[in-house]
Amino acid sequence: MSGRFINIARWISRSRANGPGERFVLWVQGCGLACEGCWNPDTWSFAPRQLLTPDQLLREVDRAGGIEGITLSGGEPFTQAEALVPFVESVRSRGLSVLVFTGFERAELRSRVASRLLALTDVLVAGRYDHTQVAKGLRLLGSQNQRIHFLSGRYGPEDLDDVARCEAHIAPDGVVTWTGFPGEFVNE
């Protein structure tokens, strides 16, 4: 496997709010789209944050155990497609599924390396986040203009029925980390 580094913002070992079943969720670091109202502006900078090789990251996935798949978010996964492809290939070789959140439209993902990552993706959630079209209650969507593409036969729309809207992870020190789409909940 390639030893090229992936620039990472953070990950959580298990989530049920980022795609079907229990998923390892990886937020990559770096995004040039700068969508207004983005939930993760701390992931925009391309400066190195945590640099891990695909092998190192794979060990974290293996450690999670008993998961359905992985979810790539960010940041913008497709700006690191070159480094992510060998990681995702290894993930798939373990029988795990792959869901990717991207701010690009699917039609914008035409490069050779983007196509390679797409070929390894089961579900693609695509499109800029538009804060004027917030998607309330739509599974996996931040705004209504975004689209969910089922790229392999592995999942269909019905598989999203049980996806949690959001999750709160409470650490032993009492710090609460939200994932998924908690906006409606947090901003009540």
Partner 1 sequence: MSAYITVATPMIDRDLLLQALADVGFGEGRIVVSDEPLPLVGYEGSQRAQVANVIVRRQYLSAASNDLGFISTPTGYRLIVSDYDRPRFGATWLVQVSERYRAREAERDARLRAEELERERERKRQLVEAQRSAIEAKAKRLGYSVTVERNQEKVRLVLVRRTY
Q: Name the nearest CA neighbour of 62 among 36, 84, 90.
A: 90
66 binds partner 1 (CB under 8 A): no
Residue 163 contacts residue 17 (beta carbons within 8 Å): yes
Q: Which two tokens stand for residue 78?
A: 């497709």
Give the shortest CB-174-to-partner 1 separation in angstroms: 4
Which CB atom, from 51 or from 164, has the smaller least distance to partner 1? 164
Chosen residue from 6, 17, 70, 91 binding partner 1 by CB under 8 A: 17
Among 10-18, 35-43, 100-108, 121-129, the segment contacting partner 1 (CB under 8 A): 10-18
3-state secondary structure (DSSP) of residue 108: helix
Q: Which two tokens stand for residue 56?
A: 């190192």
Q: Is the bond into 153 cis (omega within 30 degrees of 0)?
A: no
168 binds partner 1 (CB under 8 A): yes
Site string for partner 1, 109-138 (x = CB under 8 A): ----------------------------xx
- Contacts with 188 (C-beta within 8 Å, 6 or more apart), sequence order: none
The footprint of partner 1 (CB under 8 A) covers 14, 16-17, 137-138, 161-162, 164-174, 176, 180, 182, 184-185, 188
